[in-house]
């Protein structure tokens, strides 16, 4: 049968797996030569069909076997050729993998943890999905309090939200622990705010000290030691502020690290950079946590890690801390 001889000859002369696939399509494809013969069986007489059909099927089987054998042979030859071309010189020195670096936020947090643990604080964590009670009401911020307008919060339901501060951890600790309390609460917090100096997700470390006889002087001494450890001998100032969960409240500033107090774009011409908020724990907060404000007092403070990183390293855009640009991160 001439088609058989042509097919077997084409299989033998194919020089690659790709060429062999062309041979298969030519003879066995939907419009292949053997396929067309089978489709023309209807034009034969009933006596001729069995013999011709048997012959065509035998030829088809021989061609398929030849294709399979030749495919295996060519594939093995191509693999050997590729391996020979890709031979590795094992005597060459290896490529040193790139080294990572600590993220500036991790550096700041490790420094804070070292400082506060050295002063006797414990590190406590809490849930990022909080109840409205712990995030607001237990911190002296009832539903109609204007202070809620200061924080644009991500609500999940009317009761649950993404915490806007780590202060709820302080309430949870006071509920289950009698004074004295001396803790810091680090973690992610969330607010609807995004620009060069704000991010909808950022990191805070909030601190709480509650015991008999705690005064504002203790607060100032603790925070000035923190400023000295982080910024060295730099001028520090406290100015009055307002937070519903502390009374009195104060902001702590440091002299601008860019202009050294002369006034620049970074400090908006004031010569000062805001670092953190603080104050004496409001008596109402102590009461709601189950403490007697006539027996104990305390102070609290909240530090934004991004703000510390920006003031410490002179970073002007908070988005740099989240873009994971190695050119930026390698500077630390």
Q: What is the pLDDT of residue 1?
A: 55
Q: What is the pLDDT of residue 284?
A: 94
Angle, in degrees to the nearest 10, between helices 104-118 and 305-313: 110
Beta strand ranges found along the chain (DSSP E): 122-123, 129-131, 160-162, 181-190, 201-211, 236-243, 246-255, 272-281, 297-304
Rounded Cα–Cα distance for residues 231 and 40 (Å): 93
Rounded Cα–Cα distance for residues 190 and 196 (Å): 16
Q: What is the pLDDT of residue 200?
A: 87
Rounded Cα–Cα distance for residues 252 and 241 (Å): 10
Q: What is the pLDDT of residue 20?
A: 73
Q: What is the pLDDT of residue 85?
A: 78
Angle, in degrees to the nearest 10, between helices 17-28 and 49-85: 170
Q: What is the pLDDT of residue 234?
A: 84
Return per-residue pLDDT of the chain as tens, 332 residues. Answer: 566 677 677 777 777 777 778 777 777 777 767 677 766 666 767 766 677 677 767 777 777 787 788 778 878 888 888 877 777 777 878 888 877 788 999 999 999 999 999 999 999 999 999 999 999 999 998 887 766 666 688 889 888 999 999 999 999 999 999 999 999 999 999 988 766 667 888 999 999 999 999 999 999 999 999 999 988 888 899 999 999 899 999 999 988 877 777 778 767 888 888 889 999 999 999 999 999 999 999 999 999 998 888 888 888 888 888 888 888 888 88
Q: What is the pTM of this model?
A: 0.66
């Amino acid at each position: 049968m001439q088609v058989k001889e042509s097919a077997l000859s084409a299989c033998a002369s194919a020089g690659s797996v790709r060429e062999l696939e062309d041979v298969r399509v030519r003879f066995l494809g939907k419009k292949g030569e053997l396929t067309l013969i089978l489709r023309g069986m209807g034009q034969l007489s009933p006596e001729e069909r069995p013999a011709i059909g048997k012959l065509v099927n035998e030829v088809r089987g021989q061609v398929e076997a030849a294709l399979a054998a030749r495919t295996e042979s060519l594939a093995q030859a191509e693999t050997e050729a590729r391996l020979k071309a890709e031979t590795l010189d094992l005597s060459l020195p290896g490529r040193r993998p790139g080294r990572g670096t600590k993220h500036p936020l991790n550096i700041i947090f490790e420094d804070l943890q070292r400082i506060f643990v050295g002063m006797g604080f414990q590190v406590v964590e809490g849930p990022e999905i909080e109840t409205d009670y712990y995030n607001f009401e237990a911190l002296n911020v009832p539903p109609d309090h204007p202070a809620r307008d200061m924080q644009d919060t991500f609500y999940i339901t009317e009761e649950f939200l993404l915490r806007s501060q780590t202060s709820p951890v302080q309430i949870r600790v006071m509920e289950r622990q009698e004074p004295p309390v001396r803790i810091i609460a680090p973690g992610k917090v969330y607010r609807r705010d995004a620009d060069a100096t704000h991010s909808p997700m950022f990191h805070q470390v909030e601190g709480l000290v509650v015991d008999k006889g705690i005064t504002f002087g203790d607060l100032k001494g603790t925070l000035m030691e923190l400023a000295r450890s982080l910024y060295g001998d730099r001028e520090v100032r406290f100015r009055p502020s307002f937070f519903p969960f502390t009374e009195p409240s104060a902001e702590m500033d440091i002299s601008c690290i860019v202009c050294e107090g002369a006034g620049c774009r970074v400090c908006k011409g004031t010569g000062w950079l805001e670092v953190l908020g603080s104050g004496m724990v409001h008596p109402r907060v102590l009461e709601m946590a189950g403490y007697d404000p006539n027996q104990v007092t305390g102070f609290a403070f909240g530090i934004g890690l991004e703000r510390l990183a920006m003031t410490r390293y002179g970073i002007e855009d908070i988005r740099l801390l989240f873009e994971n640009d190695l050119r930026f991160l390698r500077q630390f």
